[in-house]
Amino acid sequence: MKKILLFLLCSTLFSGVYAQSFSLSDTNGVGINPGAVIQILGAPTDEAMVARIDIKNNAEVAKSVKVKKLINAGDTLAGTINSICWGLCFADTVYISPFAQTIQPGMTSDQFYGDYRPKNIPGISKIMYVFFDVESRNDSVAVVVEFHASPASVGDEPVNPVKFSDAYPNPAVNFVNVEYTIPVSVNKAAIVITNMLGSKVKEVSLSDRSGKVQIPVSDLINGIYFYSLMADDRLIVTRKFVVRR
């Protein structure tokens, strides 16, 4: 009997610690699993890269919610700046939002975004954002965002460097065009399109060393997408475009 009671007590504590009143989604309403890793792609020259995440209160009572950022040593690139915006945007030195946002039962707040400024520094910075009930901090949900800042063109072959154009038209309705040039040393190349959650939605193989490819997007829902040049299974450069009808 003691073992059973101990098991029941442990189960109760465990479920209490991990009870979640909240769920997350992107701006298109696509759900984000708790603890998931999502990617935001841009260029080192971008003034800001933004991770917009919506949070829903699934509880039967209103919740006062704060957000905090957790950054382990070495997770962000030196010289870059990141900040949290929760109704208001705060200085990069603020790790927990000073003010709570009240989310009514069953309602979704779109007041959060993570702001990342690459400051011309290429590479990846990783930040965890945790949303929690101020009355019960264990009632929380988290997501990890990787900000990928990759250069517009790379390559050390002066005769035939990598070139990767901005997609056009942008916003797109039915298709986007992308112009490219890849070095002769590349054996295979492709353009891969991913959504805001980092899931691949299209892949187009490139058979020529340079040219223009037209990619249909009429089957994609409205939103932000990222298109990447892959060369010999290596990510070379990433850009973004919008589908809007």
- The pLDDT value given to residue 29: 83
Cα angle 240-241-245, degrees, rounded to a multiple of 5: 160
- The pLDDT value given to residue 197: 75
- The pLDDT value given to residue 45: 85
Q: How much of the chain exceeds pLDDT 70, in percent?
A: 88
Residue 138 DSSP SS3: strand
- Range of lowest pLDDT (104-113, 125-134, 180-189, 200-209): 180-189
- Range of lowest pLDDT (5-14, 35-44, 50-59): 5-14
- The pLDDT value given to residue 152: 53
What are 100's two structure tokens?
């709570």
* Closest of 19, 31, 30, 29 to residue 63, by C-alpha: 19
| Higher per-residue confidence, 121 vs 64 | 64
pTM across the whole model? 0.63
- Domains of the chain: residue spans and CATH: 20-149 (2.60.40.10), 163-243 (2.60.40.1930)
Range ranked top by mean pLDDT from 99-103, 187-191, 241-245: 99-103
What is the rounded distance in angstroms from the CA atom of residue 245 to the CA atom of residue 239?
Answer: 20
Residue partners of 158: CB distance under 8 A and separation at least 6: none
What is the rounded distance in angstroms from the CA atom of residue 32 to the CA atom of residue 133?
Answer: 19
pLDDT in tens, 118-161: 998 888 899 999 999 999 999 999 999 999 887 654 444 433 46
State mean pLDDT over 212-234: 90
| Higher per-residue confidence, 238 vs 52 | 52
Q: Are the beta carbons of 148 and 51 closer than 8 angstroms?
A: no
- The pLDDT value given to residue 153: 45
What are 85's two structure tokens?
């915006």
